[in-house]
Amino acid sequence: MSLPATQFPPPPTPAAATPPAHACERGIDPDLLEDARVRLELLYGEVAAAWPGFIARPGQYEMMQAALLTFLSAKAPADEERSGNNLAQLEAGTGTGKTVAYCLAAIVASEALKKTIIVSTATVALQEQLFQKDLPRLAEIIPELTFDILKGRARYVCESRLEGALHDEEQDSLLSAEFQEAFGDLRRPAKGISRDSAQAMLWFKNSAKKLRSSAWDGDIDALAQPPDPDDWRRVQASAHACNGGKCEFFRSCAFFKARRQAAGATLQVANHALILATLQTDSSLIDPGNTLFVFDEAHHLPTIAADQFSYRARLGVSSKLLASLRTVALRHGKALPASTRPDPVAFAQLITGCTDRLALLEDFWLQNQLVSADKAVHRFAQGQIPEALIPECEQLATLLNAISKVVSGIAAALMESDESRSPQERDEHSRAGVELGVYLSRLQTLAQLFGAWATHDKVPWAKWLEWADNTGDATPDAWLCASPMTAAQVLSKSLWKSVSAAVCTSATLTACGSFDFFDRLSGMNRFPERRALVVASPFDYAVQGELRIAAMQHSPKSAGFSDELCAKLPGLLREHCHGQLVLFTSRRQMQACYAALPKDLIDQVLVQGVRSRTEQLKEHGRRIVAGERSILFGLQSFGEGIDLPGQLCEHVVIDKLPFTPPNSPVEEALAEWLSAQGRDPFNELSVPRAGMKLAQWAGRGVRTVTDRAVITVCDTRLVSMRYGRAILAGLPPFPLVQAS
């Protein structure tokens, strides 16, 4: 409609400022949001009144509100609109009280949306801490809160397998160390002296007695002393060696009892590896589309995911596995009616087709001397194996899937309930099905491995061979390995696109002051409306400490750096009379500095690795209480997860910026691929990774509002190089002091 010439439209009303992504309320029902906020305020007030030593902090409150909006933006399983407002990255510095913040937000959203909550941590130890300390406190304040813990099946005993061990039955030939290690991790500690069979039998009998009398619930973590690994391997629960509801021990099964109990809980505590493994197997344990997730210590998630989605197996032992399977499967197949038995000739041909191709691969690496005792790893450039091997790997994957289909059919038939058989026959058939189930898990790994080797995507996988050391066999063997270069794609597809809502949190989610690094590795950068918030720490870093750059004449790249550090360190340590933590980027440097200390300081130093970490920290605390100086020398694992408040740590010394050169095939492959794209691996990977790590290390100094600490970095690159200044921007805002 046109206006008369003498009239003008009123001036436009200024548009309301667009809220930041973490505070966006778009798509949330206003009434639902209002009710949730009222409920949240009520619970927060009750926690503030009842929690011992509780101090309400602005950062905690801000994080709680952002988490609530994320959870209330939850998607339905069928919702194809996935812009990311149901995903959040919330960095909360030490002392924020993030556990209370995300738990209260999740509890309120769970009540409103009728959804389950899963809080996932990086390790089982962190699970236990949350389960035994924080949640019981919350449950006292919120009586309607029920919670339980989710652990992997392998942490529970299988009563059927325990019975078999008691009768000295080798329930499956794959329990031998050779077959187990054929699919294990080469980097695990070497085996010691073999377990005495009488000692093993005594442990089996005592464990069965405790289980039957309810003195033990079947959880390995509830044992006063951890069992021998070989003993536990014989009796631990396994998805592929499980007869489910058809098992005679199903009602008393430790694993299923734990699952049934956890299923009724409002909040379940899990760990990242379990969540990712469960989503891979399409297990009914977790319904991601109807679950509100919290990933605490989320900076570990990309690394754990990359490990979870990688495959490795020993080539030579895999051939033996298939030969063994041929005998076992056909022997068990004879127990079936003639109409359902597998054709022995056709099955043998499938096995032979696999072993012939495995022999070709074995000849290839031996003739080309790709790996040896002197050359442990051979990585295929750009993830491309030789052209001639691609069809062989494709055929291997096809044949292995065909073998799995036959074996699965035999196992299913054996486990069918047949009242015409005697109880003894039914028990024997059930055990045979369990044995074949273990083979099936190995066949699946092999099929996935060769499928990955045969594929070359736009973003290739890392593929490599490793020398199999200490095989105990005169015939040399090699590991075949494949891994995604980053977990971004699999996390995006398997997790972020399927969850109802998820909050990722940690004290160090950013690197160099930005979420970019975590975004890229986690795949969250594919969701444009994801929420992101850095919550300020309650600590007054300007008053509580300072960051000192030691006056070093040599750069860590200089040959004289190590000697200079050894000479300077005693003076730095003598400036402080209570607890100190010295973090080194290499064991060699740590040992050199320790050896160079004067006698009086050596007596005050506790070196990582000499005794257990628990014992070291206990002794460190004893010395500080006694008024003595105590100094911890540690490597990277001491830079995270150690809480040393007050006088336990008034000085942190860091030898140099914690750069980790690409020293694994996966890291090398990623750096190579980025370079091929014209990108800079150093600035995209090395700098932010070092920045995130240095922030964690520097965070060891101030743990409470009353702490005072000095952080000394003996690497002048932090202030002299451009990348150093980028790293500096991501550290706690200590006053910077450059020693002259």
pLDDT (0 to 100) of residue 664? 86
* Residues 410, 335: Cα–Cα separation, whole Å: 10
Mean pLDDT of 622-643: 93
Q: Is the pLDDT of residue 162 over 60?
A: yes
Q: Is the pLDDT of residue 170 over 60?
A: no
Task: Quote the strand ranges of 661-716, DSSP E.
Answer: 709-713
pLDDT (0 to 100) of residue 417? 67
Alpha carbon 238 to chain centroid, angstroms: 20
Are 441 and 240 a contacting pair, CB within 8 Å? yes
Q: Under DSSP, is residue 292 helix (H, G, I), strand (E, B) or coil?
A: strand
Q: Is the pLDDT of residue 539 over 60?
A: yes
Read off the pLDDT band of 171 (50, 70, 90): very low
Average pLDDT for the chain: 88
Could you report the per-residue pLDDT of 546-584, keeping only the tens digit for each? 999 999 999 999 999 999 999 999 999 999 999 999 999
* Residues 255, 150: Cα–Cα separation, whole Å: 10
Mean pLDDT of 154-163: 89
pLDDT (0 to 100) of residue 187? 38
The CATH number fitting domain 311-483, selected from 3.20.20, 1.10.3470, 1.10.1060, 1.10.275 = 1.10.275
* Residues 450, 465: Cα–Cα separation, whole Å: 13
Query: Which letter does DSSP use for residue 196 in this model?
Result: P
* Residues 701, 156: Cα–Cα separation, whole Å: 39
Q: Is the pLDDT of residue 712 over 50?
A: yes
Q: What are phi and psi of 556, to 5 degrees?
A: -55, -20
* Residues 440, 238: Cα–Cα separation, whole Å: 12
Beta bridge partners of 654: 583, 713
Half-sphere exposure of 47 (CA within 13 A, CB side): 26
Q: How many CB atoms lie within 10 A of CB 282?
A: 6
Could you report the per-residue pLDDT of 23-67, keeping only the tens digit for each? 899 999 999 999 999 999 999 999 999 988 888 899 999 999 999
- Lowest-confidence pick of 58-67, 165-174, 619-628: 165-174
3-state helix, strand, coil split of the chain in percent (to 5) is 50, 10, 35
| CATH code, 29-146+293-297+490-535 | 3.40.50
Number of residues written out for the chain: 740
Buried/exposed 131-164: b ≥16 CB within 10 Å, e otherwise:
beebbebbeeebeebebbbbbbbebbbbbbbbbb
Could you report the per-residue pLDDT of 362-415, keeping only the tens digit for each? 999 999 999 998 999 999 999 999 999 999 999 999 999 999 999 988 888 877
> Class assignment of domain 541-738?
alpha beta
Residues near 465 by beta carbon (within 8 Å), at least 6 away in sequence: 365, 370, 371, 377, 378, 478, 479, 480, 481
Could you report the per-residue pLDDT of 587-606, keeping only the tens digit for each? 999 999 999 999 999 999 99
**Chain region(s) in the chain for CATH 1.10.275:** 311-483
Mean pLDDT of 305-326: 91
Pairing of strands 267-271, 147-149: parallel
Could you report the per-residue pLDDT of 248-285, keeping only the tens digit for each? 888 899 999 998 888 889 999 999 999 998 887 756 77
pLDDT (0 to 100) of residue 244? 78
Q: Is the pLDDT of residue 1 over 50?
A: no
Could you report the per-residue pLDDT of 212-240, keeping only the tens digit for each? 999 999 999 889 888 998 889 888 888 77
Q: Is the pLDDT of residue 192 over 70?
A: no
* Residues 242, 437: Cα–Cα separation, whole Å: 7
Could you report the per-residue pLDDT of 463-485, keeping only the tens digit for each? 999 998 765 566 789 999 999 99
Read off the pLDDT band of 617 (50, 70, 90): very high
pLDDT (0 to 100) of residue 193? 44
Angle (deg, nearest 10), helices 197-212 and 159-166: 140
Could you report the per-residue pLDDT of 131-151, keeping only the tens digit for each? 998 999 999 999 999 999 988
* Percent above pLDDT 90 for the chain: 64
Radius of gyration of the chain (CA): 29
pLDDT (0 to 100) of residue 663? 78
pLDDT (0 to 100) of residue 496? 96
pLDDT (0 to 100) of residue 208? 92
Q: Is the pLDDT of residue 5 over 50?
A: no
Are 340 and 406 a contacting pair, CB within 8 Å? no
Read off the pLDDT band of 419 (50, 70, 90): low
More confident residue, 624 or 286: 624
Angle (deg, nearest 10), helices 390-415 and 344-367: 140
**Chain region(s) in the chain for CATH 3.40.50.300:** 541-738
Mean pLDDT of 668-694: 94
The reported pTM is 0.87
Q: Is the pLDDT of residue 18 over 90?
A: no
Q: Under DSSP, is residue 90 helix (H, G, I), strand (E, B) or coil?
A: strand
Q: Is the pLDDT of residue 127 over 70?
A: yes
Apex CA 513: angle with CA 507 and CA 515, to 5°? Answer: 75
pLDDT (0 to 100) of residue 724? 95
Q: What are phi and psi of 268, to 5 degrees?
A: -115, 135
Task: Report the candidate in 187, 163, 184 with the shortest Cα–Cα distance to residue 174.
Answer: 184
Q: What are the C-alpha distances in Å from 145 to residues 50, 126, 500, 719? A: 16, 20, 20, 50
Residues near 195 by beta carbon (within 8 Å), at least 6 away in sequence: 228, 230, 231
Q: What is the side-by-side strand order in the sheet with 736-738? A: 605-607, 630-634, 579-583, 651-654, 709-713, 545-549, 736-738
Q: Is the pLDDT of residue 732 over 50?
A: yes
* Residues 509, 659: Cα–Cα separation, whole Å: 18
* Residues 162, 115: Cα–Cα separation, whole Å: 37
Maximum Cα–Cα distance across the chain: 106
Query: Which letter does DSSP use for residue 511 in this model?
Result: B
Half-sphere exposure of 596 (CA within 13 A, CB side): 16
